[in-house]
Amino acid sequence: MSKIYSRLFDFLELGDNFPTIIMGVLNLSPESFYKGSVYNTLKELKKVSLEMINNGAKMLDLGARSTAPWSEKISIQEEIDRIVPSMEVICKNIPKNIIVSIDTQYREVAQKAYDVALKFNKKEIIINDVSCLKTDSGLEEFIIKNELPIILMASKRMPGDLLTIDEIIKEFQKTIQKLKLKGYNENNIILDPGIGHWVKEKTHTYDLKIINNLKDLRALAKPILVAISRKSFIGAILDPKNPPKPEERYNGTLSATAIAVFNGAHIVRTHDVNNQLFEITKIAEEIRRNS
């Protein structure tokens, strides 16, 4: 099977022969499952984003809506009101070679955030849609029109509802083919298998099997992103009777991340951008290359 390779914006190369890309999570949603990742002031957001970049993050994922199924729902306007001023701060202060990911399922939100980016001549923008373009068909039109890269998270009817790697691959194939037929550049696609307790049927054993079978996603020849950081499957494994809170799941996050990188992940979406994470990903990717 050929090597996976992609280049974003002519300056960031990712794939089998390149270091794992670290994407730092910047949450603007108080509803988020991990309160330690929520930044409530623009001053704090600026500080943390620059720290993440100084620590080696090549991407920042800016999200204004919690996608956890049990979270309190907010309106599209509330999402816009959160993300627009935050985009202004980010675009004013980060280097050109840092990619900003807009974590949204809605065209209107993506458009407003993108408008801010263009105002600051920040063109290195991608969209991260946990619904795999199922929530808002307008978002598909938006990325095609603006030729923006997309992170597709495996979903069929609602975010994260696919249970097995075979189901994930089949749904990705349909979405990729649909985008190609509409003239979208498939080299701009990044795949996220959707690890996490998105629907009640998806117990932690499904997440473990997805991580274990991550290599099967290589058949689609696209860079693979994993979003493992502090998720509930880690707590369910460490103590089924009294699962540790997100704040107590960091060691488990590192362990699962190392295995995911060994099994083929090219991008790691994380709340914690630090030297520990870089060391475990470097070792895992070197073992993968030499196996």
Task: Give every CB contact of residue 118 below 8 A, 6+ residues apart in sequence.
Answer: none
Assigned token pair, 100: 């900003």
* pLDDT, position 38: 72
Taking the C-alpha atoms of residue 117 and residue 269, their distance in angstroms, rounded to an integer, is: 21
Closest CA to 158 of 134, 127, 140: 134
For the segment 193-212, the average pLDDT, to the nearest whole number, is: 95
Q: Which fold has domain 19-289?
A: TIM Barrel (3.20.20)
Is residue 156 within 8 A of residue 198, CB to CB? The reply is no
Using the predicted structure, report yes or no on whether residue 220 has a pLDDT greater than 90.
yes
Alpha helices in the chain (DSSP H): 42-54, 76-93, 107-119, 137-146, 165-181, 204-212, 232-238, 250-262, 275-289
Q: Which pLDDT band, with edges at 50, 70 and 90, does 66 fall under?
A: confident
pLDDT in tens, 225-247: 999 999 999 999 999 999 999 89
Taking the C-alpha atoms of residue 267 and residue 26, their distance in angstroms, rounded to an integer, is: 16
pLDDT in tens, 156-202: 999 999 999 999 999 999 999 999 999 999 999 999 999 999 898 99
Please provide the average confidence, as pLDDT, over all residues in the chain: 94
